[in-house]
Amino acid sequence: MAVSDPAAWVKNVEKLYRANDSEGVSALYTDDAVTVAGSRVLSPAEVHAHPKEWFDSLDEYEIERTFRAATGDIIVSETTASYIIKAEGKRYREFGVDVYWVNDEGRIYHKHTSEIVEPYDLRPLPPRRP
């Protein structure tokens, strides 16, 4: 396995996002990393620019990442988040799954994200199951 403790690796990713640490998040990726979110493909330059753009666009950002699975060089996490998009002044909730391909140094060389973003008060959330 590329990462000896994938659950701890996901917790570190969560910690960096909670700290709005754009440099730390960017450093998670290899220089040639590509990410895919739906039909949007981010080039390596966009991958490394995105964390700063993301954190700068938000207020009251709260995030939880939960380790879900790992095999070989793949780590899967679930994300729930809420934030205010500064340009709109509106709060949103986000639910997603990230699939990371990680090298032996623990750096991401490829990532797929699937997420749902909705207005924060669109519907009540069901209770979380263990």
Number of domains in the chain: 1
**What is the block-wise mean pLDDT of the chain (130 residues), using blocks of 10 residues?**
92 97 98 95 97 97 96 96 96 96 96 94 74
Residue 10 lies in a domain: yes
Residue 125 lies in a domain: no
Residue 83 lies in a domain: yes
Residue 80 lies in a domain: yes
17: domain CATH number is: 3.10.450.50
> What pTM did the predictor assign?
0.90
Amino acid at 50: H
Residue 99 lies in a domain: yes
Residue 128 lies in a domain: no
| Residue 122 pLDDT | 84
The residue segments making up the domain with residue 61 are 6-119
